[in-house]
Amino acid sequence: MEPPPGGKERSKFSSKLRGSLLTIAPITLWMLAFFIVPIIIIIVISFSKRTIVGSIEYSFNLSNYGKVFNLNYVKILGNSLWISLETTLLCLLFGYPFAYFVARASKKYRSILLMLIILPFWTNSLIRTYAWMILLRTEGIINTYLMNLHIIKEPLQMLYTEGAVLIGMLYTMFPFMVLPLYSTIEKLDFSLLEAAADLGANPRKTFLKVTLPLTKSGILSGCLLVFVPTLGLFFIPDLMGGSKIILISNLIKNQFLQSRNWPFGAAMSIIVMLLMFIFLKLFNKLGGSKDKLEVM
Query: Which residues of the shown chain bind other proteins in the complex (CB under 8 A)?
Result: 106-108, 189, 191-192, 194-202, 205, 209-210, 213-214
State CA 145 to chain mean position distance. Answer: 34
- Minimum CB distance to other proteins smaller for 54 or for 213: 213
Q: Shortest approach of other proteins to residue 49 CB, angstroms?
A: 54
Q: At what angle do helices 37-46 and 262-285 cross, to 10 degrees?
A: 120
- Minimum CB distance to other proteins smaller for 44 or for 214: 214
- Minimum CB distance to other proteins smaller for 148 or for 191: 191
Q: Shortest approach of other proteins to residue 211 CB, angstroms?
A: 11
State CA 229 to chain mean position distance. Answer: 3
**Three-state DSSP class for residue 123:** coil
Cβ atoms of 217 and 283 within 8 Å: the answer is: no
Q: Shortest approach of other proteins to residue 194 CB, angstroms?
A: 5
Q: Shortest approach of other proteins to residue 187 CB, angstroms?
A: 11
Q: Shortest approach of other proteins to residue 116 CB, angstroms?
A: 19
- Minimum CB distance to other proteins smaller for 118 or for 199: 199
Cβ atoms of 224 and 279 within 8 Å: the answer is: yes
Cβ atoms of 179 and 293 within 8 Å: the answer is: no
- Minimum CB distance to other proteins smaller for 56 or for 214: 214
Which of 135-173 are b and which e, b meaning 16 or more Cβ less than 10 Å from the residue's Cβ? Answer: ebbeebeebeeeeeeeeeeeeeebbbbbebbbbbbbbbb
